[in-house]
Amino acid sequence: MGGIISGFAFQVIYNVTMSAGLAPVKGITLPLMSYGGSSLIATMAGFGLILNVRMRRFTN
């Protein structure tokens, strides 16, 4: 769960630094904003895993 969240945060932070001119421009998509099929599918799958773990955390 922490790996998915940290990967999402890395993409967001790196895109902000690219826009500000502080980092070199790479081909990393901005999650949930950029147009791209495979990136969107991977992001939604990660969020689905997080929600599934969260939903089943307190069941016996």
The full set of domain ranges for the chain reads 2-55
**Which residues, other chains included, contact 46 with Cβ-Cβ below 8 Å and sequence gap of 6+?**
4, 7, 8
Q: Is the dihedral of CA 11, 14, 19, 25 positive or negative?
A: negative
Tens digits of residue pLDDT in 2-55? 899 999 999 999 999 999 999 999 988 888 887 778 888 989 999 999 999 888
24: tokens are: 């070199």
Among 41, 42, 34, 60, which residue's Cα sits nearest to residue 4? 42
Please say if the pLDDT value at position 59 is more than 70. no
pLDDT exceeds 70 at position 57: yes
Using a CB cutoff of 8 Å and minimum separation of 24, what contacts does 49-52 make? 49/1, 49/4, 50/1, 50/4, 50/5
